[in-house]
Amino acid sequence: MLDLFSYFDLNHSLLVCLALLFVLFYEAINGFHDTANAVSTLIYTRAMSARKAVIMSGIFNFLGVLLGGLTVAYAIVHLLPNDLLLNTTSTHALAMIFSILLAAIIWNLSTWYFCLPASSSHALIGAIIGIGLTHAIIKGSSLLYAFNLPKMTSIFLSLILSPIIGLIIAGGLIFLLRYYFNQNTRFHRIHMTPAEREKIDEKKTPPFFIKIALILSSIGVSYAHGANDGQKGIGLIMLVLIGIAPSAFLVDLHAKKYDIISTEYALNDLEKYYLKKTNNIFHQTNLTNKQKIINNCIIHNIINTKLLLKNVSNYNTLNIKKRFQLRYFLLSIADTIDQTIVSKTDFQNKYFLMKNKKIILKTIEYAPTWIIFIIALSLSIGTMIGWKRIVITIGEKIGKKSMTYAQAMSAQITASLSIGIASYTGIPVSTTHILSSSVAGTMLIDGDGIQNKTMKNIALAWMLTLPISILLSGLLYWITLLII
């Protein structure tokens, strides 16, 4: 880690330190902003005391970051086009990073202060979009090239659809629990509220098996939150480092010889595949010139990448120019593979392409262990503080009536599964919106109704997060560029 500062003078090193502290501060805010998603149901069903629930959530958020992988982290990194990220000075890179972080932090703190379960993911993605837009306007370039459109489209779809899916699945679970357990003498207590349990059974805590189910589902949400939102912090730090110290972080300088050889083998296999595909194209008149150009382009990139890697067993032997070229070619190849997978390709070929894409990206989609550890620590510490404001909103202000055990379980199970799947498929989603919509879905199906004022405020925060974070980051970036 200390080697990082050998690339800069004192003033620049201080700015780099400040940028890293901003990322850690953002991640800590993310922790206490989203703690409620994991602990509110535990607290309001009396399955666990608030202190124990928060500590447990912090521990499993920490583990989620450590074990969650890097697919979401690089979905964040790739939101910015390669040309914008790589073709910039370190000073402009710092201006870009500070603008993104300040915009996200300002909005997250504002919504936390007003007890609104807003999305940290929306704020971060909006801030990145604002940078791309402002850069395109300043440079007078086309807005079409201001973003990585394929990545942004998939992320937008996930952010829009995930709360709707959460509402439907959680509501479906409640329906099934009502159908199977409503008249069951042994399990009917699952539909009690804590107050009803205390009045009828004279016990303050849930039945043992329900309590275990609530705790396990809460652990699932905490772990999934760490895996998804923790990776966003990792992605932010990698954005900082790639932008300001590209010579050290464009590629994994600690990559093993085996990984480099595996990359070459994967490139050979991809070259054969696309050469065969190109030969077939010449015998098909129904294919467009665009498809032919795409195939020729990826073959050209594969050949150039193989030339760069020829007789290379350690990336330290590549100069800065070749590291830039290697990263650019590998990402371009990966983007073309994505286009091929989306087109009419059978399962066997899709599996082949996805496997080789993962191999060729291994040495450029990485994160040093110290980065993963400090993000895990920041998120878990943040999880243990400042949690109460949003917990009250989720626990008391979404439904008109108190939350039943079944409603809490359904919402938590839905959230943990949805966020967990998203984390391992590389899709950044909003933990807050999934959990809030899941709670609302359970209330609607049970006929308890929801508090319209709260849901309107949550919906308003949801709609405003993207435009406000876009405007904030764009304005901050523009002001910073004027100053420097």
Q: Do 386 and 330 share a structural domain?
A: no
Q: Do 458 and 375 share a structural domain?
A: yes
Q: Do 165 and 43 share a structural domain?
A: yes
DSSP 8-state class, residue 189: G
Among 402, 393, 375, smallest CA distance to 454 is for 393
Q: Which parts of the chain sit beneath pLDDT 70?
A: 1-12, 35-37, 81-90, 115-117, 142-151, 182-187, 279-293, 344-345, 386-400, 446-450, 454
Q: What are the tens digits of pLDDT across the range 381-432? A: 888 776 666 666 665 556 667 778 888 888 888 888 888 887 777 777 777 7
Structural contact between residues 174 and 446, judged by C-beta atoms closer than 8 angstroms: yes
Q: What are the tens digits of pLDDT across the range 275-320? A: 887 766 555 555 556 666 677 788 889 999 999 998 899 999 999 8
Residue 344 main-chain phi, psi, to 5 deg: -70, 90
Q: How many CB atoms lie within 10 A of CB 179?
A: 9
Integer-rounded Cα Rg, in Å, for the chain is 24
**Residue 311 in tokens:** 């007789």
Structural contact between residues 326 and 305, judged by C-beta atoms closer than 8 angstroms: yes
Rounded to two decimals, the pTM is 0.81
Q: Do 431 and 413 share a structural domain?
A: yes
Q: Do 171 and 104 share a structural domain?
A: yes
Q: What are the tens digits of pLDDT across the range 186-218? A: 667 787 877 888 788 888 888 888 888 888 988
Q: Do 258 and 209 share a structural domain?
A: no
Q: Do 351 and 303 share a structural domain?
A: yes
Q: How far apart are CA 68 and CA 72, in angstroms?
A: 9
Q: How far apart are CA 351 and CA 345, in angstroms?
A: 10
The last residue of a domain, from among 361, 379, 397: 361
Q: Do 173 and 87 share a structural domain?
A: yes
Q: Is 11 helix (H, G, I), strand (E, B) or coil?
A: helix
Q: How far apart are CA 289 and CA 139, in angstroms?
A: 31
Q: Do 291 and 149 share a structural domain?
A: no
Q: Do 89 and 162 share a structural domain?
A: yes
Residue 266 is predicted with a pLDDT of 94
The last residue of a domain, from among 342, 361, 380: 361
The last residue of a domain, from among 301, 332, 361: 361
Q: Do 217 and 94 share a structural domain?
A: yes
Burial (CB < 10 A; 0-12, 13-18, 19+), residue 236, is buried
Q: Do 444 and 332 share a structural domain?
A: no
Which residue range is the domain that position 84 belongs to?
2-247+369-483
Residue 383 is predicted with a pLDDT of 80
Structural contact between residues 337 and 294, judged by C-beta atoms closer than 8 angstroms: no
Residue 76 is predicted with a pLDDT of 80
Burial (CB < 10 A; 0-12, 13-18, 19+), residue 425, is exposed
Number of structural domains (the chain) is 2
